[in-house]
Structure 1
Amino acid sequence: MFVRTAGDRDLAAVRALLVETWHATYDAIYGAAKVTEITDQWHSIASLRTRLTRPNSEFLVADDGKRIGGVAFAEGADGGELVVLKQLYVLPVLQGRGIGGMLLDEIIESFPEARAIRLEVEEQNKRAIAFYEANGFVRSGDAGEHTGPSGEQTLVYRRPLAG
């Protein structure tokens, strides 16, 4: 897999990846119907397309020439001092092969002025939490800006970056 900037021609594959990954991750937590409702709204082609031109952001895919195996999206905040990781997903069959780490590294490299990276994660998404903790993130005392479909607050994790 190699990591590159996402383009318009990738959007259908990115949507398919997000739908598959969300169902694999969240069906047991929220139920398949709720996950379908969320992915139809949040991961529509139109919604994804807006990310391609969003200022001060990076939209990446991991590609092996045959399929998109992972996706990441992040935005700069606080005058470029902070990277907010909005999404990092890898196809379930490809998880554990270093693709998530490659995407995370490239996101960080895309914001060289940043001093920290922040993300929110569902408390029940134990696999994601383990990944982020293994990659140097620590739980912050900050309250999550989002709530999950069941009304629970997301957990906030941060990692300092060399500035």
Structure 2
Amino acid sequence: MFVRTASERDLAAVRALLVETWHATYDAIYGVERVTEITDDWHSIASLKARMARPNSEFLVADDGKVIGGMAYAAATSDPKLVMLHQLYVHPSFQGKGIGKMLLDEIADSFPDARTLRLEVEAANTAALAFYRANGFVQAGETANCGGPQSGIPAMVLEKALD
């Protein structure tokens, strides 16, 4: 796998990856119906296209030339020293192969002025928590609205200092 900037032609494959990964990860936590609602909203082609067009952001895919095995999306905040990692997902069949680390490293490199990388993660997503902790993230707080102002989804806020 190699990491590259996503293009519009990747969006259908990215959406498919996100839907499958979300169901594999969150069905047991939120239920199939709620996960479908979330993925239909947050991971629609229109939502993904809007992220891709956002200034001061980076939308990446991990690609082996045949399949997209992972994706990441981050954007600068109003504070140029703080970057928010909004998405980092690796397809279940590719997890544990270093793809998440490659995506995380490339996101950090994409924002040379940033000093802190922040993200929100569901506390019950133990695999994600273990991944982020192994990569230097520590808990910095909590939110009642992960992913959006009215989501009603609680999450832990994790941060990592960047060099």
Shorter-chain TM range is over 0.9
- Deviations for 1:75-111, whole angstroms, at most 9, x for unmatched residues? 0114310110000000001000000000000000000
Q: Name 2:160's counterpart in structure 1.
A: 159
Q: Name 1:56's counterpart in structure 2.
A: 56
Q: Name 1:143's counterpart in structure 2.
A: 142
The residue correspondences of 1:126-137 to structure 2 (distance < 5 A) are 126-137=126-137
Q: Where does structure 1 differ by over 4 angstroms across 4 or more consecutive aligned residues?
A: 147-152
* 83-92 vs 47-56, which moves further: 47-56
Q: Name 1:47's counterpart in structure 2.
A: 47
Query: What amino acid is aligned across from residue 84 of structure 1 in structure 2?
Result: M
TM-score (norm 1): 0.94
* 33-42 vs 89-98, which moves further: 33-42
Q: Name 2:3's counterpart in structure 1.
A: 3
Whole-angstrom CA distance in 1 between matches of 2:137 and 2:73: 17
Judge conservation of contact 2:144–2:152 (CA < 8 Å) in 1: no
Q: CA deviation at 1:73?
A: 0.2
Instruction: Quickly say closer, same or farther: Cα 1:5–1:150, change in 2 above 3 A.
Output: closer
Residue segments in structure 1 that go unaligned for 5+ positions in a row: none
Instruction: Quickly say closer, same or farther: Cα 1:38–1:83, change in 2 above 3 A.
Output: same
Judge conservation of contact 1:12–1:45 (CA < 8 Å) in 2: yes
Whole-angstrom CA distance in 2 between matches of 1:150 and 1:116: 24
Q: Name 1:117's counterpart in structure 2.
A: 117
Instruction: Quickly say closer, same or farther: Cα 1:68–1:55, change in 2 above 3 A.
Output: same
* 30-39 vs 63-72, which moves further: 30-39
Q: Name 1:23's counterpart in structure 2.
A: 23
- Identity of paired residues, percent? 65
Residue 59 of structure 1: SS of its match in structure 2? strand
- Deviations for 1:89-144, whole angstroms, at most 9, x for unmatched residues? 0000100000000000000000010011000000100000000000000011x332
- Deviations for 1:60-82, whole angstroms, at most 9, x for unmatched residues? 00000000000000001143101
Q: Name 1:32's counterpart in structure 2.
A: 32
Whole-angstrom CA distance in 2 between matches of 1:46 and 1:87: 16
Judge conservation of contact 2:144–2:153 (CA < 8 Å) in 1: no
Residue segments in structure 2 that go unaligned for 5+ positions in a row: none
Q: CA deviation at 1:153?
A: 2.2
Residue 104 of structure 2: SS of its match in structure 1? helix
Instruction: Quickly say closer, same or farther: Cα 1:150–1:14, change in 2 above 3 A.
Output: closer
RMSD: 1.6
